[in-house]
Amino acid sequence: MKDAWNFAQMDDYWRRYEPLTPWGQDHREARRVLVDEKEIQDRHDDIDVAAQFLADAAANPVSLDRLAYHLKRMPRLPLAEKDEYELIELFQVKKFLANYRGVLSVLDDRTRGRFNLVPACPGLAAELDRGGSDAETFYLADSYDPGLGACRASLAAIDAEIREARAASEERAKVEFGLSFKGREFLVVARSVFHEGAPDPVTFLIDPYDDGRVLVRLLPTGSAVAAMEKRERLLESEREAENAVIRRLSALASKAMAELRGAVAALTRWDIARAGAILADQTASIRPELDSSAMLLEEARFVPCADECKELGLEYHPLSARFDSGAVVLFGSNMGGKTVALKTMLFMQLLAQAGLFVPARRFCSHVYRRVDYVGELAGERLTGLSGFGFEIWRFQEAWQRSEGALIAFDEPARTTGSHEAEALLSALVEAYANGRGARAFFATHFRGVARVSGAEYRRMRGLDRAAACEALDADAPLPERLAGINRHMRYEIVDDDDAAQGESDALAIATMLGLDCGLVERAQDYFRKSLLPGSGAGVSTGH
Amino acid sequence: MLDAPEDFLGFVTFITGPEKHSGKTTFMNHAARLVRQAVHARGLRQPALMTVGYDGESRDYLTGLRKPAVFVQAGDAFVTAERFLRSGGASPEILDAAPGATALGRLCVARARRDGFVALVGPDGNSQVDWMLGRIVEGGIADTVFVDGAINRVTQVAGRAGARLVYALRIDRANLDRSVDRLARMAMLLDLPVESGDVDYTVTGALTSEAASRLPREARLVAVEDFTRIFLDRRELSVLLGERRVVVRHRPDFAGFSVATRAVDDCAVLEKCRDIPFMGASLADSLSFNPYEERAAFGGTL
């Protein structure tokens, strides 16, 4: 379904979807399109509950900020049982539990119940909370083990002893030799400092640095060396005591893993529901109705296009339409909006099946087993095939997996001559109209496609030529002309009828884009001739 | 210059150098010590120390035991990997864990609860360096940060408010001319003006000597992302700057050069740098020497 996803510019919209936890972000990155109706309905129910909670809590923005704060701070913790966890992993468990409690404290009973957000691992949390200067930091505190506390007290005393000895040595160096170490490990000094003989080997260690200078270190006194050795032994004892604490905490954490996994799953579900509800609110989206055999769109907004129009100062027109058949042929001129209409339909369907609400006044459809797109791709993927060969290969691929699928064909058969294209397209429309539970849309220029039983034939309403001609300024720069076309294009889907015959939007647009008038007039002549009976244009067979 | 706490307090200082053993870590230890003394007196937060990559371990000079290279005082923050967290006796408290992992394992920001030594292990990629600095500075862990860094991470300096660059190198008698050459090249790179309008040509990747030879003849004003993308030696750079104007999109704030001299007089270095222009003055004005050198007020007798 990747092609459909890309064609519908889903990523342009997906950026607004912002789960905050690491697992919510994994879910977003996966870009899953669901095919299980119950799973989709559950997701939609979740969003309803989340939206209700957010609406109820709107009067208390601080609580919503706290909720976002805790979700953002969730660490990716280990979720497998192990004999021994690393210190960082224990920290992650503690941080997770602290923020999980924070989330629970903000939510109401209904929301907690819906998402199964229940208190998790209170015993483990209490134990981990003993280590750390605040709820989110962690160290192996003295209180974990009496031996650890005693060992650290001895270390503190030894450190004080070493510091005092060092300070005394530094003072002596300053007073007797003018060497101010100020905590520095070594100094580089002029040789002349020691000009009257060999330095005292008990006080300094002196190494040559260069011709004129020496590198001087303070040697610890005998008692300081003894203290340092004792310190090393104490550090070893501390490490052993810490290891014992880590093993004990690891055993507790390992036992709690199943509960932690449950908490992560519940939290992730809440996180994505919350993100879905916020997105729905930001984009005025509604819950799709997925029990309809027809596809109904009421004021469906293809947000990437609406955004682009806004940027360009153009008006965006939402799409409304209803489709009942398995095959829908959509005619339209260049720039008439048929590709955007296709994108809008896929966009709505993909959002609904991604478990999200849709930006529309109403959207009715059902769950398709696949959502596919067949049309121009950014890069050709089967080297060795011509454009036509590649297109045929994709027709066949789509047909083979079409059962229960929604497929959008954009300008199918564009790689061959118009007669063959209309023939091929007619066969495709006939095949999809007659079964497999699929729904296929065909956006095409080729008006000669056969009208077959069971298929629907629609067209984009197209250019309001009278209004466009009236407003046409032959000397206007191109961006203004484009805006003029946009202003007078009617992006609506209507039944295809004879009103579409006789005049060409494409040629009118060519005029508006500044094509030489003489050329356009001749093109109009040829176009009208082509519509005369017996002209040989088209393969229309009627039905 | 570079010998007062104010040179570092409240800044993220990236310490870079031309190669290994150019004195970066020594300089960081020196600067962190200055900052500690100042923050204690003023009631400010202690510094955070981090590196790009791995700083390795050294052998303790006195005891001969293996020990991590960087001293931390109780209250300092530092970045390391799980496997080094508890070595060195600093009794760390984990403040946060970075997302993802490096070749040496997961990274975390920790605070020393006791004086000790630590092995700094840092992120490899720019985005992780950004995350880590954001967590430390914006997260309120420390206002003063030292990054013992690789030159190719200087992009972070240019993109971050309050970030500065220190360039550390060692000069001895044998490499004096080569080192001055390096200083002069660095001065030229740091002096490149920031792009302020239309340019004739933008170099998207590295500006190597081959890329320079392929620049369009008519391109008089050439832009590069930042000076770390320029891989030309001093002579090639001089030739290029003689023919065209080169501008950078981002230029780091520069704090100064720290030079450790050995078997060469500081004055000899200053003399060689006197006529090299840098930031509207002489390069010699931006050099500071031997952070560990004690110019004793009087000599003692042993």
pLDDT digits (tens, 9 = 90+) for A249-265: 999 999 999 999 999 99
Strands annotated E in A416-468: 439-444, 455-463
* B89 in A contact zone (CB under 8 Å): yes
pLDDT-derived band at B60 (thresholds 50, 70, 90) equals very low
pLDDT of residue B290: 84
pLDDT, tens only, A473-491: 667 777 777 777 777 777 7
Tokens of B261: 């001299």
A178–B99 CB contact, under 8 Å: no
* A149 in B contact zone (CB under 8 Å): no
CA angle B195, B196, B199 (to 5 degrees): 65
pLDDT of residue B64: 44
Q: Are residues A22 and A63 in the same domain?
A: yes
Share of chain B above pLDDT 70, in %: 89
The more confident residue out of A387 and B10 is B10
Q: In the predicted model, what is the mean pLDDT of chain B?
A: 85
Which residues have C-beta within 8 Å of that of residue A1, sequence separation ≥ 6? A33, A350, A370, A371, A372
* Overall size of chain B counted in residues: 302
| Of A493, A443, A494, nearest in space to A319 by CA | A493
B86–A228 CB contact, under 8 Å: no
pLDDT, tens only, A403-455: 889 999 988 877 777 777 788 888 889 888 887 778 999 998 888 888 888 88
pLDDT of residue A492: 79
User: What does the pLDDT average to over A292-315?
Assistant: 90
Q: Are residues A44 and A90 in the same domain?
A: yes
pLDDT of residue A197: 58
Q: Are residues A451 and A350 in the same domain?
A: yes
- Whether A366 and A290 have beta carbons less than 8 Å apart is answered as yes
Share of chain A above pLDDT 90, in %: 53
Asked if pLDDT for residue A185 goes beyond 90, the answer is: no
Q: Are residues A264 and A323 in the same domain?
A: no
B294–A176 CB contact, under 8 Å: no
- Contacts across the A-B interface (CB distance below 8 Å): 116
pLDDT, tens only, A264-291: 999 999 999 999 999 999 999 999 999 9
Tokens of A532: 């005369």
A35-49, A134-148, A376-390: least confidently modelled range: A376-390
- Angstroms from A191 CA to nearest CA on chain B: 9
A30-44, A297-311, B12-26, B37-51: least confidently modelled range: B12-26
- Angstroms from B114 CA to nearest CA on chain A: 8
User: What does the pLDDT average to over A63-71?
Assistant: 96
The more confident residue out of A446 and A327 is A327
| Of A403, A406, A382, A404, nearest in space to A394 by CA | A382
Q: Are residues A301 and A373 in the same domain?
A: yes
Residues of A in contact with B135 (CB under 8 A): none
User: What does the pLDDT average to over A325-329?
Assistant: 91
Asked if pLDDT for residue B150 goes beyond 80, the answer is: no
ipTM, two decimals, is: 0.84
- Angstroms from B252 CA to nearest CA on chain A: 30
* A160 in B contact zone (CB under 8 Å): no
pLDDT-derived band at A540 (thresholds 50, 70, 90) equals very low
Number of domains in chain A: 3
* A66 in B contact zone (CB under 8 Å): no
pLDDT, tens only, A91-103: 999 999 999 999 9
Asked if pLDDT for residue B236 goes beyond 70, the answer is: yes
User: What does the pLDDT average to over A226-243?
Assistant: 93
**DSSP assignments along B133-197, one per residue:** HIIIIITTS-S-EEEE--GGGTHHHHHSTTEEEEEEEEEETTTHHHHHHHHHHHHHHHTPPBP-S
- CA dist., res. B15 & res. B7, Å (int): 13
Any domain includes A126: no
Most confident by average pLDDT, A54-63, B50-59, B84-93: A54-63
A196–B302 CB contact, under 8 Å: yes
pLDDT of residue A95: 96
pLDDT of residue A277: 98
Domain boundary among A224, A243, A273: A224
- Which H or E element spans position A511? helix A505-512
- Angstroms from B127 CA to nearest CA on chain A: 17
Any domain includes A352: yes
Q: Beta-carbon neighbour count of residue B271 at 10 Å?
A: 12
pLDDT of residue A514: 74
User: What does the pLDDT average to over B121-130?
Assistant: 82
- Whether A395 and A401 have beta carbons less than 8 Å apart is answered as no
* A61 in B contact zone (CB under 8 Å): no
- Angstroms from B134 CA to nearest CA on chain A: 14
- For B162: left if phi > 0, alpha if psi spans -120 to 50, otherwise beta; the answer is left
- Whether B29 and B70 have beta carbons less than 8 Å apart is answered as yes
Q: Are residues A193 and A66 in the same domain?
A: no
pLDDT, tens only, A506-538: 777 777 777 777 787 788 787 777 766 655 444
Which residues sit opposite B81 in a β-bridge? B107
pLDDT of residue B174: 87
- Angstroms from B216 CA to nearest CA on chain A: 31
CA angle B112, B139, A135 (to 5 degrees): 65
Q: 43-82 in B: which are within 8 Å (CB) of A?
A: 61-63, 65, 71, 82
Q: Is the dihedral of CA A108, A113, A114, A119 positive or negative?
A: positive
- Which of A130, A139, A169, A246 should we substitute to test contact with B (largest number of B Cβ atoms within 10 Å)? A139
pLDDT of residue A203: 80
Asked if pLDDT for residue A129 goes beyond 60, the answer is: yes
Share of chain B above pLDDT 90, in %: 51
- Angstroms from A120 CA to nearest CA on chain B: 22
Asked if pLDDT for residue A543 goes beyond 70, the answer is: no
Chain B's closest residue to A140, CA to CA, is B93
Residues of A in contact with B290 (CB under 8 A): 188
**DSSP assignments along A80-149, one per residue:** S--S---HHHHHHHHHHHHHHHHHHHHS-HHHHHHTT-----HHHHHHHHTSSSSTT-B---GGG-HHHH
Q: Are residues A307 and A433 in the same domain?
A: yes
| Of A109, A58, A74, nearest in space to A277 by CA | A58
Any domain includes A518: no
pLDDT-derived band at B61 (thresholds 50, 70, 90) equals very low
Any domain includes A376: yes
B296–A179 CB contact, under 8 Å: yes
Q: Are residues A176 and A265 in the same domain?
A: no
Residues of B in contact with A186 (CB under 8 A): 292
Residues of B in contact with A91 (CB under 8 A): 94, 97, 108
pLDDT-derived band at B53 (thresholds 50, 70, 90) equals low
Asked if pLDDT for residue B244 goes beyond 90, the answer is: yes
B97–A75 CB contact, under 8 Å: yes
Chain A's closest residue to B299, CA to CA, is A193
B63–A242 CB contact, under 8 Å: no
pLDDT-derived band at B43 (thresholds 50, 70, 90) equals confident
Any domain includes A525: no
Asked if pLDDT for residue A496 goes beyond 70, the answer is: yes
* A400 in B contact zone (CB under 8 Å): no
* A244 in B contact zone (CB under 8 Å): no
Q: Are residues A71 and A200 in the same domain?
A: no
Instruction: Indicate the burial class of B20 (C-beta count within 10 angstroms; 0-12, 13-18, 19 or more).
Output: exposed
Of A184, A200, A231, the CB nearest to B302: A200
Asked if pLDDT for residue B66 goes beyond 50, the answer is: no
pLDDT of residue B127: 80
Any domain includes A244: no
pLDDT of residue A522: 80
- Which of B83, B94, B265 should we substitute to test contact with A (largest number of A Cβ atoms within 10 Å)? B94
Q: Are residues A345 and A455 in the same domain?
A: yes
- CA dist., res. B141 & res. A135, Å (int): 15
- Angstroms from B51 CA to nearest CA on chain A: 19
Any domain includes A231: no
B97–A179 CB contact, under 8 Å: no
Instruction: Tell how far CA A110 is from the center of its chain.
Output: 28
Q: Beta-carbon neighbour count of residue A273 at 10 Å?
A: 28
* B41 in A contact zone (CB under 8 Å): no
Which CATH number fits the domain that encloses residue A416?
3.40.50.300
Name the residue range of residue A218's domain. 150-224
- Which of B70, B73, B76, B93 should we substitute to test contact with A (largest number of A Cβ atoms within 10 Å)? B93
pLDDT of residue B299: 33
Residues of A in contact with B263 (CB under 8 A): 210-211
- CA dist., res. A273 & res. A287, Å (int): 13
